[in-house]
Structure 1
Amino acid sequence: MTTVVKWTGSGMAFDAIASTGHQVRMDAAPDVGGANTGPRPMEMVLMGLGGCTGIDVVMMLQKMDQNVHDVQIEIQSERADEIPKVFTKIHVHFKVIGTALNAKKVQRAVDLSAEKYCSVSKMLEKSAQMSHDFEIIEA
């Protein structure tokens, strides 16, 4: 896997291009020379966590024959006060929307993603206290 990150030549904006050809812009806040044209790099880390664990949970629930209509992942984090300002706490909250969902199966999918399958989660747990929970919303 290869990613190229290239400065746009303006302010603090950088374009990241993945080996798959997908592209995303990152930028800094205006108070440090950015123009707010994209998410901050640390926000991208949390977005990656959400995408990684979300894919796991949806795949597992589908394999468990659960009638999932939507999954929303809300991530709250805290960072260290000193540089490097790494994440120290991350809480992942899943909203699983569907019909007649089995709570034990949802719990199992969330736990397996956090404890075994989500590579991003496993990396972040080296520096941050990770926690997760879920709620089921009947569609």
Structure 2
Amino acid sequence: MTNHITTKWLGGMAFESTNTSGNTFKIEDKEESDGLRPKSLMLSALAGCSGLDVASLIKKMKLEVDTFKIDTIANMTEEHPKHYDAVVVEYHFYGSNLNEERLQRAVNLSVDKYCGVFEMFRQFAKMETKVIFHHK
């Protein structure tokens, strides 16, 4: 399968990119802009890919979860080209009836089997996962 996106220069340090669904978003290289920074976007793609897997597995396994969030903490190298060399992905689950064993299994399935972005990150970074349960 081939994916095709188009990224158009908007002038200055800004681009507009399409995704494979045809939606657009802005990529910029400024802290105070409304655009997304390229390397941060990579971390969002990692969390989003795995998060979608886990959400699907929560539904399939009929697990009770009020909500969950994913914190992605990455170390950036000092030398150019600067890149991530170590990434910690923390899965935080919130609820009053959390099945810790099955939620851990859902995360493991995403990380080890389903999430292609996770597999891509493994090619250039040391990956670590943590699962944290917040019982109400």
Q: TM-score, normalised by structure 2?
A: 0.91
| C-alpha displacement of 1:16 | 0.8
Q: Aligned residues, how many?
A: 134
**Structure 1 counterpart SS, 2:65:** strand
Instruction: Say whether residues 1:42 and 2:44 are aligned partners.
Output: no
Q: What's the RMSD between the two structures over aligned residues?
A: 1.5
**Which ranges of structure 2 fall in alignment gaps of 5 or more residues?**
none
| C-alpha displacement of 1:36 | 2.4
Q: What residue number does 1:7 align with?
A: 9
For residues 28 and 61 of structure 1, the distance between their equivalents in structure 2, rounded to whole angstroms, comes to: 36
Please say if residues 62 and 68 of structure 1, whose CA atoms lie closer than 8 Å, have aligned partners that are also in contact: no
Q: Which of 89-98 and 121-130 deviates more?
A: 89-98
Q: What residue number does 2:127 align with?
A: 130
Q: TM-score, normalised by structure 1?
A: 0.89
Please say if residues 64 and 99 of structure 2, whose CA atoms lie closer than 8 Å, have aligned partners that are also in contact: no
Q: What residue number does 1:29 align with?
A: 30
| Residue identity matched to 2:7 | V
For residues 112 and 20 of structure 1, the distance between their equivalents in structure 2, rounded to whole angstroms, comes to: 26
For residues 61 and 98 of structure 2, the distance between their equivalents in structure 1, rounded to whole angstroms, comes to: 10
For residues 5 and 102 of structure 2, the distance between their equivalents in structure 1, rounded to whole angstroms, comes to: 35
Which aligned runs of 4 or more in structure 1 are off by greater than 6 angstroms?
none
For residues 95 and 64 of structure 2, the distance between their equivalents in structure 1, rounded to whole angstroms, comes to: 6
**Which ranges of structure 1 fall in alignment gaps of 5 or more residues?**
none
